[in-house]
Amino acid sequence: MNVRFSDRPARVTLASVAVALIALAAAPWWGGRDDLRLLAEIYAYVALASLWNLLAGYAGLVSVGQQAYVGLGAYLLFALTILLGVPPLIAIPLAGVIAALLSLPVAALIFRLRGHYFAIGTWIVAEVFRLLASQVSVLGGGSGTSLPVGIVTSIAGTRQTREFLIYWIALTLMVAILIAIVLLLRSRYGLALRAIRDNELAAQSNGVNVTRVKLIVYVITALGTAMVGALIFLQKLRISPDAAFSVNDWTAFVIFITVIGGIGRVEGPIVGTLVFFLLRQFLADLGTIYLIMLGVVAIVVMLKAPKGLWGLVVEHFGFQLFPLERRVVLTPTVRPRESGDPDKM
Amino acid sequence: MTDWINVIVQGVLVGGLYAMFAAGLSLIFGVMRLVNIAHGDLIVLAAYLALVTTQSLGLDPLSAMLIVVPLMAAIGYALQWFVLNRTLGDDLLPPLLVTFGLSVIIQNTLQELFTADPQKLQAGAIEVASLSVVEGINIGVLPLLQFALAVIVIAALQLVFYRTALGRAFRATADDSAVAQLMGLDNRHVFALAMALSLAVVAIAGVLLAVRANFDPTIGPARLIFGFEAVIIGGLGSLWGTLAGGIMLGVAQAIGAKLDPGWQILAGHLAFLVVLAIRPQGLFSKVQG
């Protein structure tokens, strides 16, 4: 008997994912400026939703305050480039690292709140960040500021090269975040996370250091979310506390996307984002009503199909895009020391 | 000096309102371990209901409560019975996400119906009346009335909780809902009553909020946060502690505002974070958080 991750359908789909990625990487040659902009926005939401899914769906840390790190990353980008003259493309990872470091003392405080109260604690942290940001007068205080032209042109000489470059960075960042999440879930921390999700007490009593695992996930999420935030506002070229720390844009949409797509599955946020943007293309004119409808759909999904759209797919077809589920493979002759299988647990 | 005393008095009086935000929140958390993220938006909903009632029926804000309070209680019962009861269980996610969804829905629906323009309830001459306690120290009649109402509401909740059959049902269900059910209590009904009571308190708080200051559809989450901070500062499971928590939050905000208008809300959050860092179980806690 053997326990393996991968199976043939997963390998086949991985191959088609690779083909799709090559097509997306070539988008500057087949798409227009609007297509690139839309795709980059989709990548940002896939990344944000995947990170929130890791936090809430896997580690059970239900945060309604991830806008704290989107805004922090964005403000760090503006501060590093405008005040310290750091090149923008270096400022993005740097913003992520600084945000991750800052997330440690934040975690030390809000990890004292359990479950539901943790959620509101994260919201307060985001509010504190927003209020502090509006006190920073060198970055425009409450009304915000724009990225100076000199910094923008320092990314690349022509506007076209700049847009291509930012597009590729957005794609790379999303892929890197997805790969990091899949690798994390395949590691022993992934097993620990699943154990915690199923039963925290049992996980603890089996030797899982629950707080440590949760802290690792919280810091990784802060790192990724802040980098995505920095990139989003590098594209927008303008920042203000209300936009950077928006609950609707960076948390409500992200949560609805994940819930509709399927929480607790890596594929869920991707499916959810595609549905979200597909609907938005048709319903964008509705404005607020679109947000209300999305909220209603998310509630109905949570009540009627808590595993989301992708959960329904898995239930009906037993199909998965990423080889994450461990499967028991029964073999007639049991060889305990089978060689060269890194996946074996 | 009298300046500062006035500031602190203002803070204390506002604290009564915060304690009322908090009481409804901690009531349902106590009974069914549910944190209602839409709590603040329900407060704002009550404010708008009061606005519609006063404008369409020509009532004064206090009489409007006679309509808004039962209405909100009914909404609470229905909300719990038809939606929230389905989310309760071992899993944290459904109740959090459903109430978060409700928060977004209520906020944006109010925005569609009433626009984002700030509104206010007019209470007439009483709004500007004040008592001079000693030379230089003035207490507004309206804030004082609101504070008194907050104390009455908290005392009443305390009575309901510890002296009535309903309170016994609440406490029994909170301790062990399975055993309570075996004793003949219908959990779904008990939970729905708790939510109805919570939203009745929310209704009173919402009307008072609407009289005290301008409101618009987006201010709900901040009210949820104030209520939550009062609960944590005061300590879980203690109603009088919640009142003390609300007062401390109000005073912290008043002092912050006095130092710099931009620091009002931030000072409240910082007071909360300090309590969380130093004494996470709250100042007057009975139970472990």
The predicted-structure confidence for A144-184, as pLDDT tens digits, reads as follows 999 888 888 888 878 888 889 999 999 999 999 999 999 99
Token digits for B107?
């906020």
- Quick check: B270 and A128 CB within 8 A? yes
B162-175: b (≥16 Cβ within 10 Å) or e: eeeeebebbebbbe
- How far is the alpha carbon of A79 from chain B, nearest alpha carbon, in Å? 21
Among A14-18, A225-229, B180-184, name the one with the lowest average pLDDT: A14-18
pLDDT recorded at residue B72: 97
The residue extents of the domains of chain A are 2-329
In angstroms, the CA A142 to CA A124 distance is 18
- How far is the alpha carbon of A210 from chain B, nearest alpha carbon, in Å? 17
Whether the predicted pLDDT of A339 surpasses 50: no
Q: What is the mean pLDDT of residues A233-243?
A: 93
The CB density around residue A100, as the number of other CB atoms within 10 Å, is 20
A203-236: b (≥16 Cβ within 10 Å) or e: beeeebebeebbbbbbbbbbbbbbbbbbbbbbbe
Percent residues over pLDDT 70 in chain A:
89
Partner residue facing B289 (CB), from A113, A296, A306? A113
pLDDT band at A341 (very low <50, low <70, confident <90, very high): very low
CA nearest to B231, candidates B20, B59, B8: B20
pLDDT band at B123 (very low <50, low <70, confident <90, very high): confident
pLDDT recorded at residue A165: 92
Q: Give residue-wise pLDDT tens across range A242-270.
A: 999 998 889 988 999 999 999 988 999 99
Torsion angle defined by CA atoms of residues A68, A74, A79 and A84, in that order, rounded to the nearest 10 degrees: 130
What does pLDDT average to over chain B?
89
- How far is the alpha carbon of B90 from chain A, nearest alpha carbon, in Å? 10
- Quick check: B97 and A296 CB within 8 A? no
- How far is the alpha carbon of A187 from chain B, nearest alpha carbon, in Å? 25
DSSP state of A53: I
Residue of chain B whose alpha carbon sits nearest to that of A298: B101
- Quick check: B108 and A288 CB within 8 A? yes
Token digits for A184?
């994390």
In angstroms, the CA A116 to CA A20 distance is 39
pLDDT band at B70 (very low <50, low <70, confident <90, very high): very high
Q: Which CATH number fits domain A2-329: 1.10.3470, 1.10.150, 3.40.50, 1.10.530?
A: 1.10.3470
Domains of chain B (ranges; CATH) run: 2-278 (1.10.3470)
* Residue A7, H or E segment: none
Q: What is the mean pLDDT of residues B220-243?
A: 88
Tell me how far the alpha carbon of residue B90 is from its chain's centroid: 26
Phi, psi of A328 (to 5 degrees): -85, 125
pLDDT band at A204 (very low <50, low <70, confident <90, very high): confident
Q: What is the mean pLDDT of residues B128-153?
A: 85
Which residue has better confidence, A228 or A21? A228
Whether the predicted pLDDT of A344 surpasses 50: no
pLDDT recorded at residue A343: 47
Q: What is the mean pLDDT of residues A119-147?
A: 91
pLDDT recorded at residue B16: 92
In angstroms, the CA B98 to CA A216 distance is 27
DSSP state of A239: E
* Helices assigned H by DSSP within chain A: 8-25, 27-30, 33-52, 67-78, 84, 88-110, 115-133, 149-155, 159-186, 188-198, 200-205, 210-236, 241-244, 247, 253-261, 267-283, 288-304, 308-317
Partner residue facing A127 (CB), from B29, B95, B225? B225
Q: Give residue-wise pLDDT tens across range A45-71.
A: 999 999 999 999 888 898 999 999 999
What are the chain A neighbours of B229 within 8 Å (beta carbons)? 124
Sole residue written with tokens 């959990």: B187
CA geometry: angle A91, A119, B196, nearest 5 deg: 150
Supply the ipTM of this predicted assembly.
0.86
In angstroms, the CA A288 to CA B114 distance is 13
Q: What is the mean pLDDT of residues B195-212?
A: 94
Distances (CA, A) of B238 to A299, B158, B229: 32, 9, 14
Token digits for A229?
């935030």
* Residue A135, H or E segment: none
* Helices assigned H by DSSP within A59-158: 67-78, 84, 88-110, 115-133, 149-155
Q: What is the mean pLDDT of residues A26-55?
A: 92
Q: Which of A299, A300, A304, A307 to mutate to test the interface with B (most CBs of B within 10 A)?
A: A299
**A interface residues, B as partner, C-beta within 8 Å:** 56-57, 60, 62, 64, 109-110, 112-117, 119-121, 123-124, 127-128, 131-132, 134-135, 247-248, 252, 255-256, 259, 263, 288-289, 291-292, 295-296, 298-299, 302-303, 306
- Quick check: B289 and A114 CB within 8 A? yes
Q: What is the mean pLDDT of residues A330-344?
A: 52
DSSP state of B138: E
Whether the predicted pLDDT of B288 surpasses 60: no
Please say whether the beta carbons of A255 and A52 come within 8 A. yes
Whether the predicted pLDDT of B183 surpasses 60: yes
pLDDT recorded at residue A83: 92
Q: Give residue-wise pLDDT tens across range B46-69.
A: 999 999 999 999 888 888 999 999
Partner residue facing A116 (CB), from B92, B108, B262? B92
Q: Which of B35, B39, B85, B93 to mutate to test the interface with A (most CBs of A within 10 A)?
A: B93
CA nearest to A70, candidates A245, A256, A248, A252: A245
In angstroms, the CA A234 to CA A221 distance is 20
Among A37-41, B63-67, B274-278, name the one with the lowest average pLDDT: B274-278
- Rg of chain A over all Cα atoms, to the nearest angstrom: 21
In angstroms, the CA A271 to CA B207 distance is 43
- How far is the alpha carbon of A200 from chain B, nearest alpha carbon, in Å? 11
Token digits for A114?
């359990």
Q: If you average pLDDT over each of A28-37, A187-196, A211-220, which comes out highest?
A: A211-220
Q: Give residue-wise pLDDT tens across range B235-272.
A: 877 888 899 999 999 999 999 999 988 889 999 999 99
CA nearest to B219, candidates B173, B171, B265, B259: B265
pLDDT band at A113 (very low <50, low <70, confident <90, very high): confident
What does pLDDT average to over chain A?
87
